[in-house]
Amino acid sequence: MLEKAHEKGKTPKRLFLGLLLAVALLLLGTTFYLVIFVKDPRIFFSRKILLGIIVPALFFTLLFLCGLLAIVLTIMRKRTFPGLRWLIEKTLLSLYPFVLQIGRLLHIAQEKIERSFIEVNNQMAMASATRVQVKAGELLLLFPHCLQNDQCPYKITRRVENCRRCGKCQMGDILRISSSRGLRVEVVTGGTMARQAVRKHKPRAIIAVACERDLTSGMLDSFPLPVIGIINERPYGPCFNTRLDLKALEKAINLLLN
Ligand code: SF4
């Protein structure tokens, strides 16, 4: 029987945003604790050393809180603000590992946090798409090779046109959608090949299909390039004859091209 291993609902954005806020507040709390500590007359550390830690810590904590505010503002207003992209990038790249750690401490599954992050990133990508004005030739579609039927004898990772559109997997439908819109398509075996594809095509926006972990690392790698992530369906377990929601793909294409 077909195992519905991937029937999960949308994870709300507030999970990732809440954890991000928790990390920033923890940093702020630690900094204030150091401020109180430095005033204590009994301390045996050099005050200069402590101040050398407190001042940058306070600066970065405030920077991250502003970054979090910028993310929320971008999502709520559905538009990007010049100058805030740098702030958002630094906040996400610096705090993401801590968000995972806090999630682990709170016994929240990593996959759930990743799904929430993908949701946040998708909203930001859509917000920047309204400003970027992507043309068809500037949009890259990235797919994992596990979408291909495992019995298929044709190698499509180097040349997607090798697909005979036989209907045994969704590659035929994907090519029908992409060729009708003049979009570039790459089927990749992992992060290295995905990065090569991005370097080769130099897109202005990407739609990527993958599992939570690959999508998250790809999005963080590509920031600030707008990447809309579609989590694949894994009816037979991971990395084997996976599928995707074609309607979600078409919706993402329409959003980016309009
Ligand atoms: S649709 Fe293309 S990739 Fe999929 S099994 Fe048929 S020939 Fe292979």
pLDDT value at residue 9 = 52
5, pLDDT greater than 90: no
| Cα 236 from Cα 78, distance rounded (Å) | 36
Closest CA to 13 of 127, 99, 120: 120
Longest dimension (CA), the chain: 78
Site to probe by mutation for ligand 1, drawn from 151, 162, 169, 244 as the one with most ligand atoms within 8 Å of Cβ, is 169
> Where residue 33 falls among pLDDT bands split at 50, 70, 90?
confident
pLDDT value at residue 4 = 39
Say yes or no: domain 133-258 is CATH 3.30.300: no
Segments making up each domain of the chain, as ranges: 1-113, 133-258
Ligand 1 contacts (CB < 6 A) are 148-149, 152, 154, 156, 163-166, 168-169, 171-172
31, pLDDT greater than 50: yes
Nearest atom within ligand 1 for CA of residue 165: 1
154, pLDDT greater than 60: yes
Across-strand partners of 139?
A: 205
- Percentage of the chain surpassing pLDDT 70? 94
Task: Tell me which residue has its CA closest to atom 8 in ligand 1.
Answer: 152
Nearest atom within ligand 1 for CA of residue 166: 6
Task: Tell me which residue has its CA closest to atom 2 in ligand 1.
Answer: 163
- Torsional sign, CA 71, 73, 78, 84: negative
pLDDT value at residue 242 = 97
Please give the residue that has the higher pLDDT: either 249 or 86: 249
Q: How far is CA 72 from CA 19, 61, 68, 89, 101, in A?
A: 13, 17, 6, 13, 22
Contacts of 192 (CB under 8 A, 6+ apart): none
